[in-house]
Amino acid sequence: GNSGMIVSFGEMLIDFVPTVSGVSLAEAPGFLNAPGGAPANVAIAITRLGGKSAFIGKLGDDEFGHMLAGILKKNGVTADGIMFDQGARTALAFVTLRADGEREFMFYRNPSADMLLKPDELNLQLIKSAKVFHYGSISLIVEPCRSAHMKAMQVAKDAGALLSYDPNLRLPLWPSPKEAREQIRSIWDKADLIKVSDVELEFLTGSDKIDDASAMSLWHPNLKLLLVTLGENGCKYYTKNFRGQVEGFRVNAVDTTGAGDSFVGALLCKIVDNQNLMEDEDKLREVLKYANACGAITTTKKGAIPALPCDSEVQALLKG
């Protein structure tokens, strides 16, 4: 269709994932290398559902970087905002699957190419074309990329884009909730739409209760929509005028990687051409049901990108 452009900004990287749980990557009998990086997953989630997206980020001028750029292009994501660093290598994530199913990350970032993105390298024309600008980098505290990220967000906002933010907090990178809150504040306070997971909400508030009061303690006056994802239980939503929960779908989950990105991609796909749905609770609930269905389907297959659904798969789950 003729939908508006959604620009997703942050890193794309390779996840090295052991084939078994409960051991480190070094001890595993085998591993897979899977393309990842939350903002890249979001960009592909959008095109797979029939929307229009671009990815902006920096890769190494190495075999991994070119492979990742190729995956974006093959999936119909506009690649005009991708840069290649001539010195540093593409970011890598070494994943440990803990026995309890949680994932732990170690990153190659000494620095990796994404961290070296400079403000004067940004494709400003592409950023200005965004109806929705989604930010989801894990490297927002590092210079020079922090300055580039802040500039991109400002340019998008000045051009009238809706600003969406997923903090994607990776706990080893964030020594304390206080520090995390301080570092993300400059972005948090600009965002129109914020999505956090229940785990991130607990971390940011320092409370193990996920209730309306703890969610609302993160509210800021210019925010239009705050979402808290609850895994199989769906999501909670908060706006100025209403709040509630939309139940999730019961599926046979085998790998939850990318579920949150799939959820965000689906939501942005629906919001980009209908920004006032955030003021209409019935319409918003319908869209969140769709986003929950996308997230649920993503958990039924291994990996993130291979598991992102197309619209007809989502419609099939919604029909039941």
Binding site for ligand ADP (CB under 6 A): 197, 229-232, 234-235, 248-249, 251, 253, 256, 259-260, 263, 292, 295-296, 299
* Minimum gap (Å) between residue 158 Cβ and ligand ADP: 29
Residue with tokens 């933010």: 165
- Which is closer to ligand ADP, CB of 143 or CB of 212? 212
* Minimum gap (Å) between residue 121 Cβ and ligand ADP: 29
Task: Give SS3 for 235.
Answer: strand
- Which is closer to ligand ADP, CB of 112 or CB of 262? 262
* Minimum gap (Å) between residue 257 Cβ and ligand ADP: 8
- Which is closer to ligand ADP, CB of 82 or CB of 314? 314
- Which is closer to ligand ADP, CB of 9 or CB of 263? 263
List the beta strands (DSSP E) in 61-127.
78-85, 92-97, 103-108
* Minimum gap (Å) between residue 172 Cβ and ligand ADP: 16
- Which is closer to ligand ADP, CB of 198 or CB of 280? 198
**Closest C-alpha among 251, 243, 252, 244 to residue 293:** 251
> How far apart are the two ends of the chain, measured CA to CA in Å?
26
- Complete edge-to-edge strand list for the sheet that includes strand 31-36: 31-36, 13-18, 92-97, 103-108
**Closest C-alpha among 163, 102, 165, 178 to residue 138:** 165
* Minimum gap (Å) between residue 300 Cβ and ligand ADP: 8
57, containing H or E segment: strand 52-60
